[in-house]
Amino acid sequence: MTFGYIALIILGILILIFIGSAFTIVQQANRFVIERLGAYHQTLSVGLHFIIPFIDRITKKVSIKEQVVDFPPQPVITKDNVTMQIDTVVFYQVTDPKLFTYGVHNPMRAIENLTATTLRNIIGELELDESLTSRDLINSRMRIILDEATDPWGIKIHRVEVKNIIPPKDIREAMEKQMRAERERRQSILIAEGEKRAAILSAEGQKESQILKAEGEKQVRIKEAEGKAQAIIEVQEATAKGIAVIKKAGADEAFLRLEAYKAMIDVANGQSNTLIVPSDLQGITGLTATIAETMKLTKK
């Protein structure tokens, strides 16, 4: 009874182990490659699956997530015989777990070697300056070539990025000198443009100042002329008012003419020895007396 009981226990344990090993769970974003008696049988996707213990075997667990691999710098030679170091980053994804398992031995090593050879071929067609400024071209050509080469391996190449380009030391020093000279040239241009702009602004300021000064002098002359004209008008108005007052006081025509004659003498201000007597004054009674009085006034 004791031996039989132990045997039943052992048999139960073996059955549990057998049943436990017959079921497997595939996690999200993973695929299991199953071999049956050493030959490929199937690829298990996400979920719970039954396999036959000791007959079916999980050969490889493959992740179908996009992955990134960073390869170390590779020595390459440009078309103009310049040796430099370039390291790349490859973004890939396994699309067929069966091909990934049986297509190539050590897929990552294969991709690394393929990347290095492809990079050497592309850079060998470019000169140094083109290699430094054509990263997009290098990336796109490498992606196309690698994607075609890795398709039989069940791998999809999404992107290839040139991470860093390291020229030789003497080339880097020459490039730094060139960049420094270019920056100094741009600085000189900016300084010259600033001085030119300042000179233009100064000339424009002087021009506007002279225009404003001339305009001010013009306005002053206009105001002076207007003042003189206004003074003449006011004098004439005062004279007219005086004549009107004299007329209103009843002065005769002879008196008015004599007053006009006096005004002419005042205008002359003793600057001329010749005096022209209007013809209408010659018929006035007592012309001699008038002339004598006029001479007295002139002497004064």
The packing angle between helices 253-268 and 169-248, to 10°, is 140
Strand 155-166 to 74-77 pairing: unpaired
pLDDT tens for residues 124-166? 888 888 888 888 899 999 999 999 999 999 999 999 999 888 8
* Mean pLDDT over the full length of the chain: 80
pLDDT band of residue 246 (cuts 50, 70, 90) is low
| Ramachandran class of 120: left when φ > 0, alpha when ψ lies in -120 to 50, beta otherwise | alpha
Tell me what pLDDT residue 265 has.
57
Q: Using the 8-state DSSP alphabet, how is residue 72 labeled?
A: P
pLDDT tens for residues 74-108? 889 888 888 888 989 999 999 999 999 998 888 98
67-167 has which CATH code? 3.30.479.30
In the chain, what is the straight-line distance between the N-terminal and C-terminal CA atoms, in Å? Answer: 179
Distances (CA, A) of 66 to 61, 94, 205, 206, 289: 15, 8, 67, 70, 136
pLDDT at 292 over 60: no
pLDDT tens for residues 184-193? 888 888 888 8
Structural domain spans, the chain = 2-63, 67-167, 254-300
pLDDT, average across residues 52-71: 90
- Distance, in Å, from the CA atom of 95 to the CA atom of 275, rounded to the nearest integer, reads 130
pTM: 0.55
DSSP string, 247-265: HHTT--HHHHHHHHHHHHH
Question: Helix, strand or coil for residue 213?
Answer: helix
